[in-house]
Copies of this chain bind each other. A is one copy, B any other.
């Protein structure tokens, strides 16, 4: 019996070592399991970090009032409760003894070359258009391509709606959906859930089945173009989109040709790019959306200047110019100025002032409001 016991203990020890090896780590001591942030029914979020030896721990979260200290418990677990916070997805980091780190107990991460962050989702008691629900799902396809302005081995994602494979005779209109300066081509689907939003709206009959193309908005590498706001990147992106991405998509997919079947929209930096590409190329796009846009004035952006200079032509060609901005967004004034200029020039547009700031809960909401308006006669 002692032999059996010893064998079992030895097997258990080997299994523990194997498990540690599988995880790619050999912890110095057994780790206690701490859950990711918990969200109460009222929307308050509680953060917990096991850090018995830390001297200082703060939460970095602009949406929760900036930098806030966690309190150390006797068990070495630091805690902080914030909110209530409206349903949606939020990013945050910690300062751990002065070092900015991700939440060690939360594996949900937004990655990007500009800096990673941890993610927490505040669920809604009501169904939301971004839920992963039991409706028919479309697919998301990743392609590499080369372009003269963007270089080799660029990547874009294409959403095809449910039924695309079966309806081999049907062609679809296309939304080109552009990300922000802190994102890449995967962020609209992975954080913004653009594919799930379209799945749900299509299932509910609220949006036309459409293709959604998510290109990469940084043809000029971010390291040479901090925040992507320089005009060199905007121009390179326009050429990449028009001369490489659109032809690629229309050669690989059953996309309807012609300006009335193409929309371009984006958030933040991508909102500025959507205005630039849309306003400057109404022969290619009839539908334009700017979400919390890093819009530039006509003095800075020739394309917007051209739009404002000939309102009659613009109104004849724009099926929709849709601008949305949050009351707490640091870009509010710039968008207000754009609206005033459009008003003064008599250019038809929709201007939506909403709650919220410069963040993903707002952008998911804008996409769910914008796409039902597209490609309607």
Complexed CA–CA distance, A124 and B97 (Å): 37
Is A140's beta carbon under 8 Å from chain B?
yes
The answer to whether A117 and B24 touch (CB under 8 A), given A53-B97, A139-B143, is yes
The answer to whether A99 and B141 touch across the interface, beta carbons within 8 angstroms, is no
Complexed CA–CA distance, A134 and B97 (Å): 44
- Residue of B with least CB distance to A183: B22
Q: Which of A1-43 contact B (CB under 8 A)?
A: 17-19, 21-28, 31
The answer to whether B22 and A60 touch across the interface, beta carbons within 8 angstroms, is no
Complexed CA–CA distance, A141 and B27 (Å): 36
Q: How many residues of A contact B (CB 8 A)?
A: 70
The answer to whether A96 and B97 touch (CB under 8 A), given A60-B27, A107-B116, is yes
Q: Given the complex, which residues of B lie within 8 Å of A67, measured CB to CB?
A: 26, 28
Contact of A134 among B102, B137, B152 (CB under 8 A): B152
Q: Given the complex, which residues of B lie within 8 Å of A226, measured CB to CB?
A: 19
How does the 8 Å CB contact mask read for A92-112 relative to B, with 1 for contact and 0 for none? 010111111110100111011
* Total copies of the chain: 2
Q: Given the complex, which residues of B lie within 8 Å of A165, measured CB to CB?
A: 252
Is A233's beta carbon under 8 Å from chain B?
no
- Residue of B with least CB distance to A112: B107
Complexed CA–CA distance, A25 and B22 (Å): 34
Complexed CA–CA distance, A65 and B51 (Å): 25
Is A227's beta carbon under 8 Å from chain B?
yes
Q: Given the complex, which residues of B lie within 8 Å of A52, measured CB to CB?
A: 98
The answer to whether B114 and A111 touch across the interface, beta carbons within 8 angstroms, is no
The answer to whether A62 and B99 touch across the interface, beta carbons within 8 angstroms, is no
Q: Given the complex, which residues of B lie within 8 Å of A117, measured CB to CB?
A: 24-25
Q: Given the complex, which residues of B lie within 8 Å of A331, measured CB to CB?
A: 18
Is A182's beta carbon under 8 Å from chain B?
yes
Q: Which of A110-168 contact B (CB under 8 A)?
A: 111-117, 132, 134, 137, 139-144, 152-153, 165
Is A358's beta carbon under 8 Å from chain B?
yes
Beyond known contacts A23-B114, A28-B58, A100-B104: 17 more, CB 8 A cutoff: A18-B227, A21-B62, A21-B358, A22-B181, A23-B115, A28-B60, A51-B99, A53-B98, A54-B97, A96-B99, A99-B101, A101-B102, A107-B111, A140-B141, A140-B142, A141-B142, A142-B142
Sample of 7 A–B contacts (CB below 8 Å)? A25-B115, A25-B117, A28-B60, A49-B99, A52-B98, A53-B56, A139-B141
Q: Which of A301-344 contact B (CB under 8 A)?
A: 330-331
Q: Given the complex, which residues of B lie within 8 Å of A132, measured CB to CB?
A: 153
